Each structure stands twice: as structure tokens, then as C-alpha cells.
């Protein structure tokens, strides 16, 4: 165990998991193993690697003596100083991390689901056990964002976090915007490129981004934001024409993970939204990620880079691991996040004030827009722009695109229910928020 | 003194300097003074403020008991735990910081000139005295970049740092690009807006950016890069037509501070250059700054935000100060940068391999381009594009713009000397590098 006060001569590391990220970390450690490089401070030695299938071919090849399928070889092993958890999923990762911290082992994790659901509890456990729990790799791959929120930006009263933190989704939206692909085509292409999993639900429904937003918002606001606090909408309902109309209106469509804080009241949401084309976040293309922090002192700071993949995530895991090694070498106390308000005031999406983009399928006859505008007006929603599009002569229908001035979400939803009931309205095909 | 082992109950801070940044820090500390907020860990108290003119009106108003004009009230004062140096300039700032560190005081500085010229010596002194020397505010204002280089990105072999780190210059270039202003007009506008000083030399000649690049490159490469190692060219010779031609060719013009590292060989330069318009750095407008780090693991990571000004710089200074306060509260050893190779191999600009943009004033007659191309060809420089522009019928001259394929700087300079001697060539008006 690496308890404070013990003089260690090398740092022994165990890996839980040997997927894409685990392989990158293993490769780094095997290449540098035992060295006393300037960066390390102490030799860092890979001692154990927990895998499910010991016979699977690996890149890099791991010496057989390091491979185990028994978690006890790591968790009950008092030689291990640091556990690097890169197995993913809620369980057994949470149980393993709890065991590791409790027995005085430092933990580095890339697990956004565990940190979103159990992060504050695990951080409190780490604090009590006087060990480090670092998780830079859980959000934004190779982009340093957890560290800056915990240190360089700490003096700020952070007003908002706005981010593109799911590379799969951003890749799909970029294809839809630039190549006029529909969602299914773009998804299949992402799967062929290895950017989307066989079951893409977690990515395209916004769940992955929701986990990451919980982590970012909790650190930015020093208040616990949990998955159930986040309004979450995926990108599966977007149609190619939404990108064309948005473009015509001067906007890009991006899946944004946003959290705002105003006098302690927090609002958090993940959804596809329209962004002015000249906004820095609108320029984030393909599998890139970006996080924008808006603080009272720093103003808007943007972090942009590769949000996933073997090397970028290894960069983040190894940065955390080297931080721990330096602290062990210096016999320094652990790095600690601020304590968080465990139950802050969370605002529901109903309280959101936003501009909106609506696409409706309506009867191609005069007076339709007037009927819609009247209903919106009764809820104090005023129109900013109207486009009439794609008249279908045979069906005698037309597509109308409306953007509104700022309105409350609850008012908008109420009025849209009434609009949908109009006989001249076929359906409300799209409802997207506009971020300024 | 805040030597390790002493149990402190509050942290006493002295400010050296009360200009734009000092005022911001003072305001923050006076508002929070004595508080034991969650962020602080310990009460932080502003004890002394060194100024030149004690009678100058201040915002915020500083209690008279804190103001002093005698540096000994800070440097010889054993009650002071942390000195915040925001006076700027090489001396007496270097001497004061040396005194402070030597007497066991932690130092936070925003001084790029001191850190570029004496940073490694001061860091060694801080290490020896077991105190913190933090300088996040010396580069990029509110953008966290020093911290990430020292921690989250540490595992990377950094190949390049490319940055826009002088807001004054970037403001001027943005005006010249968008409003067709000439340099003098744009400079005067920047001065009226308070973005440029009465004597703008340090900014427009690239000296300020050179200092900042030394700091970034030294941390990124773990090798000392000093001012004399940097090739430095200002922006004063740029003409409005350069922006028009660059735009036509698909480029923006930005003053870039670039350092590259290849197997320990370092090349560093500050100059205006052409950047493809869709590059993220090309989209950095006005007084914003950006730093792009290219590492073997993280890939390209970009940091973007406000590079100067009272609040952004206060964000960085206070982030450092809070880091020190937490370390004092935890009785933790100081944060240390890696030791640097004090004398790395520096490559001169002659070894640069780059594409080039040339603007020449030539006789408006046939065969001119052939003569120029022949000379360039003899130095193995091949042309990528040629634009013939702005024929002056009266003078019988024309402007030619040439872009080249990659070539060595030394070859290009040699061939341009020969080109300038051609009787058909009036002058080589512009020579700019093209960054990809």
C-alpha cells in the first residue's frame, strides 16, 4: 500500500481492463517500465493486468506473468500502489474501485458512468483513505479539462459549461451537415469507421454525454449534478432538411451538453441545438470534442481536441498516473476536489428560457401561419423568422420552419400541443433549441 | 514564513504592483479577505500592497494601512507567506522575486519577461527553498495552459506548440483582415480601445509573444528555450493587399508563436504567417489568444480564451494562489516543474522547412515570371501558385504574388537576394511563411 509516510522505491501499477485504452496504457508502461525518467520521479512498474479472456491476442503483447482473470490478484495484493480502472461500465468497476480505495490504493479511472453516478461518494472515500482518485480521462479524452476546473479555474464563479463531448454523435452530425446523409447512413458510416459501437444507444441517445456533463458540472459548480438531474434528448430524430434549413438561417446543428448555474440554481441538458455558424463550438467537426467554460473572471475559455481513442485517452490516464507518482515520490498528500453541495437546487427543463427552431408539416393553404402564430402569441411567444419549404403538390402539404424569440420551454410545449391539434397541421416534425 | 511543517491558521499575501492585474487581485482578496470559504481551505488575507504612488486614486479603494512604497515592508516582512508579483518588467521584479523565494515566501507571478529570461533559475531557487513559484498568468491570461503542460499533458512527447499569444497584434491583424485597414489605422484603433500601449513596440515587434513562447516551449519540451533562441519578426510591414491576396488563396494572416521539437532539436519563431482559413487558429479573432499543443499521445489540443485584461489575468493569478493556499493547508510540498535541459540543441531559422508567400513589385512585361521562376528553380524551390495583381499602367509595374512548395529558408533567402537584383524586379515587398 502507498500510505503516506511509507518510503517507496518504485510504484506498482495494476490495470483493470485491457480494451482500447488499457492497451495504450499498458504499451506506455511496458516501454518505460522500471525506468527512472525525469518525468516519473520514481520507476513505475506494471505488475498485474486483469482481463476476461487471457488467451485473446493483444497489442502490445503482455507478458503472461502479468495477466490474471482473478480480481483478487489486484484488489487483495498489497504490492499494488495504483489501480488504473479502464474496464468501463458501472459494475463491477464501482465495487473494484471501492475495494481499491478502501485498502489504501490510489485509483485512476476513465469511467464516466461510475464517476457520474458514484463520483462524489468515491471522492469522499478517497479523501477518508488519504489516497488519490483521479479521472481526467473520463471526459474529453486527451483534452485537459478536469485538472483545469479543479485548479487553474478554481477562483471563478462558473456560470456555464457548454460542450460537445460525444465524438460519435458529432461525427454523425458532421456527416449529415456536410454530405446531406440521413441519420441511418451516417450512423452506419460511423460504425464502419470504428467511431460507433454495434449498439450505439449510449452515444446517439445522449447518455454518454449526460454522464460526462454530470462530471463537468459537478466540478465547475461545486454542486453535485447527477444523471437524473439532466434533461436528455438524442439525435435520432434529426432529418437532412433540418441541416439545410439551419444552414440557410445561419446555424450549425450540434449535440450540446450544457449546464448553467445562477446563484446556486442549476440547469443541465443534453440535446441537439442550433448554434450560430461563427461560434467556436459550431466549428468543432468530426470526432473532435470541445468544452467551453464561462466564468466570472476568465470569461469564455474553450478546450478543443480528440475526445476518445487509444492515444488521447492514454495521455489523460498517464497524466493522472504521473501526478500520483510525483505525489508518492514527494510523500505529498493526495490531490482533492472541493467538497460539493450534495443536493443543490436543480431547475427542470420547463424553466429553460431559449429561442426555438420548429419544423412543421402543414396543409398548403392560406391562413395556416396565422393560426399557428396566434396560438404561439397567446403564450407570449413571438416569431423571429419563418421559412416556407418543400411544397408537396400531390399531398397539398408544405413544410414550415419557424424560429422564435426567447420563450419559456413550458410555454412553448403547451402551445405546441395546441398547434399539433390544428386540423391544418399534420405534425410538428422538429423542435430544436437555439443556443446563442 | 510558510516553511513546510509550520501549522498556519491564515495565509498572508502581499501584492507587488497595483496596475490592471494587481487591482483585480486586490479586489478579489478584499472581497473574500479572512473568509474560510470552501475554495480557500484557509483564510487568505491581503497584508501589504507595494505601489509607486500611494496617492493615486484606486479601484478598488485599498485601505491606507496596506499601502506601502517600501519593498522592505514586503520582502523583509516575515508575516508574509505569499508574494504576488504583478509589477511587470525585468527589474526590480527579478530581484524582488529572488529575495522573496530566498526568504521562504511562495511567489505567484504574471511576469513573462522575468520568466522567459530567468524562469529556470528562479524555479531552481524555489525548488531549493522548498516553496512554490507559480506563473499561470504569464501566458494566455485566463487560459489554463501552464498547469496542463505541467500535469495533464506531461506523458506526451510534445512535437509542437503553435499559438496566438499577443492579443494586441491579433486585434490589429483582425481589423486589417476584416476592414481593409492599414497597419497604422488599426494600431491607432487598438490604442483607442486600450488594447495597445502608447509605445506598442513590445507587442507589434513580437517581443511579448517571444517571451511567452519561451515559457511555453520550455515547459512543453523540458528544455530551456531562451529569448535569444527565438527568431522574431513583427507585423509592421504587412500591407492591406497581403490580406486580400491571402484571402483569395484561402488563407488568413496571423502572428504565430511556434516552437517545434524533433528528437531534442528545437526550433522557435514568432512571425506573421498564412494559415488555411479552416484551421482552428485561423478562427481566433480580436483580442482572443489560443495555444495549440501537438503531442504524440494527445494529438492536437487547442486552448482558446481571453489572453489579457484584469479579470482573465486575475483568474489565473488567483488559481495559482488558491493552489498554494491548499498546499499550505495540507502541509504539502511545493508544486514543481520538471527540470529542464539547460542547453538544448537550437535550430536556426535557416533550417526551417516551410512553404512561402512572396509579393513582388515587378516590371509589367512578359518573361518576368520566367526569370524569377528560373532563379527559384536553381535553388530547388518550386512554385505552387502565382497571382498577377494590380498592374500600374503609368509606372508600367505589376504586383506578383507567388506561393511555393516546401523549401528551406536558407535556400529561399539566397534565391530572393538574386531575385531582388533582377532589373525587372522593383522590390520583394512581402515574405511570409505558410503554416499548414
B244 touches A: beta carbon within 8 Å: no
The CATH code of the domain that includes A213 is 3.30.360.10
Q: Is B298 near chain A, with CB under 8 Å?
A: yes
**A253 shares a domain with A215:** yes
pLDDT at A265: 96
Of chain A, the end-to-end C-alpha distance in Å amounts to: 51
Query: Taking CB atoms and an 8 Å cutoff, what residues of chain A touch B136?
Result: 152
Q: Which residues of A are catalytic?
A: 212
Determine the average pLDDT of the residues in A334-341.
87
Closest chain A residue to the Cα of B134, Cα to Cα: A152
Cross-chain Cβ contact B301/A297 below 8 Å:
no
Mean pLDDT, rounded, for A386-406: 91
pLDDT at position B35 is: 64
Q: Do residue B151 and residue A39 have CB atoms under 8 angstroms apart?
A: no
B153 and B288 within one domain: yes
Nearest CA in chain B to A40: B155
Query: Given an 8 Å threshold on Cβ–Cβ distance, is B142 in contact with A333?
Result: no
B132 — pLDDT class (breaks 50, 70, 90): very high
Which pLDDT score is estimated for A2? 45
Give me the mean pLDDT over the B318-328 stretch: 95
Looking at the structure, tell me whether residues B247 and B275 fall in a common domain.
Answer: yes
- pLDDT tier at B390, thresholds 50, 70, 90: confident
B31/A contact by beta carbon, under 8 A:
no
**How much of chain A, in percent, has pLDDT values that exceed 90?**
88
Does B40 have pLDDT greater than 90?
Answer: no
Q: Which helix (H) or strand (E) holds B109?
A: strand B106-109
Given a cut of 90, whether residue A230 has pLDDT beyond it is yes
Confidence class for position B37, pLDDT limits 50, 70, 90? low
Going from the C-alpha of A259 to that of each of A267, A277, A433, B84, B432, the distances in angstroms are 6, 21, 14, 33, 43
| Number of domains observed in the structure of chain A | 3
Q: Is the per-residue pLDDT at A322 higher than 90?
A: yes
> Is the CB of residue B122 less than 8 Å from the CB of residue B115?
yes
- Angle (CA) A55 A60 A64, round 5°: 45
Chain A's closest residue to B144, CA to CA, is A152
Q: Do B312 and A296 touch (CB under 8 A)?
A: no
* Angle in degrees, 0-180, between the axes of helices B167-179 and B183-192, rounded to the nearest 10: 120
- How many angstroms separate the CA of residue A386 from the nearest CA in chain B? 30
One domain, residues A297 and A166? yes
What per-residue confidence (pLDDT) applies to A9?
Answer: 83
Give the position of cell 510523500: A331
Residue A229 within a domain: yes
Q: Which residue has the cell 512527447?
A: B157
Residue A39, Cβ density class (10 Å: 0-12 exposed, 13-18 middle, ≥19 buried): middle
Taking residues B173-193, report their average pLDDT: 95
Going by the DSSP 8-state scheme, the letter that residue B38 receives in this structure is T
The reported pLDDT for the residue numbered B8 is 66
Say if A86 falls within a structural domain.
yes
pLDDT at B7 > cutoff 80? no
Q: Does the pLDDT of residue A4 top 60, yes or no?
A: no
State whether residue B127 sits within 8 Å of chain A by CB.
Answer: no
Q: Are A123 and A177 found together in one domain? A: no
- The residue from A253, A271, A306 where one domain ends is A306
**In B112-132, which positions are buried (b, 16+ CB within 10 angstroms) versus exposed (e)?**
bbbbbbbbbebbbbbbebbbb
Positive or negative, the Cα torsion across B333, A321, A168, B163?
positive
Q: Which of B143, B155, B339 sits opposite A28 (nearest CB)?
A: B155
Mutation target for A interface from B110, B144, B290: give the one with most A CBs within 10 A.
B144
C-alpha distance from B43 to closest chain A C-alpha (Å): 14
- The CATH number linked to A124 is 3.40.50.720
Question: Residue B28: inside a domain, yes or no?
Answer: yes
| Shared domain check, A134 and A150 | no
CB-CB under 8 Å, A318 with B142:
no
Question: Which of A6-10, A81-85, B258-262 bottoms out in mean pLDDT, i.e. has the lowest?
Answer: A6-10
**Same domain, residue pair B19 and B66:** yes
Confidence of residue A360 (pLDDT cuts 50, 70, 90): very high
CA A379 to chain centre: 34
CB B308 within 8 A of CB B167: yes
Report the pLDDT averaged over residues B152-175. 97
Q: Does B277 touch chain A (CB under 8 A)?
A: no
Model confidence at A6: pLDDT above 60: no
B323 shares contact with chain A (CB less than 8 Å): yes
Which of B297, B330, B363 marks a domain boundary?
B330
Contact A312 B306 (CB under 8 A): no
pLDDT for the residue numbered B1: 44
Predicted confidence band of residue B416 (pLDDT cuts 50, 70, 90): very high
Residues of A in contact with B147 (CB under 8 A): 144, 147-148, 151-152
Q: What is the pLDDT of residue A389?
A: 83
pLDDT at B306 over 70: yes
On whether any CB of chain A is under 8 Å from the CB of B167, the answer is no
Q: Which three cell numbers stand for residue B399?
A: 504586383
Report the pLDDT averaged over residues B159-171: 97
Residue B5 maps to a domain = no
For residue B307, give the 3-state DSSP assignment: coil
Asked if A221 reaches chain B (Cβ–Cβ under 8 Å), the answer is: no
Q: Nearest Cα to B398, choosing from B412, B387, B388?
A: B388
Query: What ipTM was predicted for this assembly?
Result: 0.95
A185-226 pLDDT per residue, tens: 999 999 999 999 999 999 999 999 999 999 999 999 999 999
For chains A and B, count residue pairs whose Cβ atoms are closer than 8 Å. 172
DSSP codes, B331-368 = TPPPP-PPP-BSS-EE--GGG-EEEEEEEEEEESSTTH
In chain B, the residue whose alpha carbon lies closest to the alpha carbon of A29 is B155
Residues A302 and A167 in one domain: yes
Q: Assess whether pLDDT exceeds 90 at residue B336.
A: no
Q: Tell me, yes or no, whether B279 and B320 share the same domain.
A: no
Stretch B189-201: mean pLDDT: 94
What residues pair up with B12 in beta bridges, in sequence order? B45
Average pLDDT of the segment spanning A76-100:
97
Cβ contact B298–A312 (<8 Å) = yes
**Domain interval for residue A251:** 146-306
Contacts of B305 in chain A (CB under 8 A): 298-302
Is B4 among the domain residues?
A: no
Contact A157, A263 (CB under 8 A): no
**Whole-angstrom Cα distance, residue B194 to residue B103?**
38
Residues B106 and B23 placed together within one structural domain of the fold: yes
Residues of chain A with Cβ-Cβ distance to B153 below 8 Å are 144, 315, 319
**CATH number, domain containing residue A391:** 3.30.70.260
| pLDDT classification of B94: cutoffs 50, 70, 90 | very high
Higher-pLDDT residue of A391 and B238 is B238
Q: Residue B384: pLDDT above 90?
A: yes
Least confident of A61-70, A314-323, B53-62: B53-62
What's the grid cell of residue A195? Answer: 467511431
Is B240 inside any structural domain? yes
Average pLDDT over chain B, rounded to an integer: 94
Which of A329, A364, A380 is the endpoint of a domain? A329
Query: How many angstroms away from the CA of A304 is the closest CA of chain B?
Result: 5
Instruction: Indicate whether B130 and B16 sit together in one domain.
Output: yes
Residue A336 domain-assigned (yes or no): no
pLDDT in tens, A93-139: 999 999 999 999 999 999 999 999 999 999 999 999 999 999 999 99
Which residue, B146, B63, B74, is CA-closest to B107?
Answer: B74
Claim to verify: residue B354 and residue B320 sit in the same structural domain: no
- State the residue for C-alpha cell 511567489: B107
CA distances (Å), B260 to each of B159, B218, B279, B352, B364, in order?
6, 11, 18, 10, 41
- What local confidence, expressed as pLDDT, does residue B338 receive? 84
Of all residues in chain A, the percent with pLDDT exceeding 70 is 97
Amino acid at each position: 500500500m502507498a500510505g503516506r509516510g511509507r518510503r517507496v522505491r518504485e510504484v506498482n501499477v495494476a490495470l483493470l481492463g485491457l480494451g482500447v485504452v488499457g492497451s495504450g496504457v499498458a504499451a506506455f508502461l511496458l516501454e518505460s517500465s522500471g525506468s527512472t525518467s525525469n518525468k516519473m520521479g520514481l520507476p513505475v512498474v506494471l505488475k498485474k493486468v486483469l482481463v476476461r479472456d487471457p488467451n485473446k491476442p493483444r497489442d502490445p503483447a503482455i507478458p503472461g506473468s502479468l495477466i490474471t482473470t482473478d480480481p483478487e490478484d489486484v484488489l487483495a495484493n498489497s504490492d499494488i500502489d495504483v489501480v488504473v480502472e479502464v474496464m468501463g461500465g458501472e459494475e463491477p468497476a464501482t465495487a473494484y474501485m471501492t475495494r481499491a480505495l478502501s485498502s489504501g490504493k490510489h485509483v485512476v479511472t476513465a469511467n464516466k458512468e461510475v464517476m457520474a453516478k458514484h463520483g462524489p461518494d468515491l471522492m469522499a472515500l478517497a479523501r477518508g483513505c488519504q489516497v488519490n482518485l483521479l479521472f481526467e480521462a473520463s471526459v474529453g479524452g486527451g483534452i485537459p479539462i478536469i485538472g483545469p476546473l479543479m485548479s487553474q479555474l478554481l477562483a471563478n464563479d462558473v456560470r456555464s459549461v457548454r460542450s460537445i463531448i460525444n465524438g460519435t454523435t458529432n461525427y454523425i452530425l458532421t456527416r449529415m451537415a456536410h454530405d446531406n446523409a440521413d441519420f441511418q447512413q451516417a450512423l452506419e458510416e460511423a460504425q464502419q469507421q470504428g467511431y460507433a459501437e454495434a449498439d450505439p444507444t449510449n452515444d446517439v441517445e445522449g447518455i454518454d454525454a449526460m454522464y460526462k456533463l454530470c462530471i463537468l458540472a459537478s466540478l465547475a459548480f461545486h454542486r453535485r449534478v447527477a444523471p437524473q438531474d439532466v434533461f436528455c434528448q438524442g439525435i435520432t430524430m434529426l432529418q437532412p432538411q433540418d441541416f439545410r434549413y439551419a444552414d440557410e438561417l445561419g446555424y450549425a446543428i450540434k449535440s450540446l451538453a450544457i449546464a448553467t448555474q445562477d446563484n446556486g440554481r442549476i440547469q443541465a441538458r443534453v440535446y441537439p441545438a442550433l448554434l450560430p455558424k461563427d461560434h467556436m463550438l459550431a466549428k468543432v467537426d468530426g470526432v473532435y470534442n470541445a468544452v467551453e467554460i464561462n466564468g466570472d473572471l476568465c470569461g469564455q475559455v474553450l478546450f478543443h481536441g480528440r475526445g476518445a481513442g487509444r492515444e488521447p485517452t492514454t495521455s489523460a490516464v498517464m497524466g493522472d498516473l504521473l501526478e500520483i507518482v510525483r505525489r508518492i515520490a514527494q510523500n505529498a498528500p493526495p490531490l482533492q476536489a472541493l467538497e460539493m453541495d450534495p443536493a443543490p437546487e436543480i431547475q427542470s427543463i420547463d424553466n429553460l428560457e431559449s429561442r426555438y427552431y420548429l419544423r412543421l408539416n402543414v396543409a398548403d393553404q392560406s391562413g395556416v401561419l396565422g393560426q399557428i402564430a396566434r396560438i404561439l402569441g397567446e403564450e407570449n411567444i413571438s416569431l423571429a423568422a419563418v421559412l416556407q419549404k418543400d411544397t408537396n403538390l400531390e399531398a397539398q402539404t408544405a413544410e414550415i420552419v419557424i424560429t422564435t424569440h426567447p420563450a419559456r420551454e413550458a410555454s412553448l410545449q403547451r402551445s405546441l400541443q395546441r398547434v399539433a391539434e390544428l386540423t391544418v397541421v399534420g405534425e410538428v416534425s422538429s423542435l430544436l433549441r437555439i443556443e446563442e
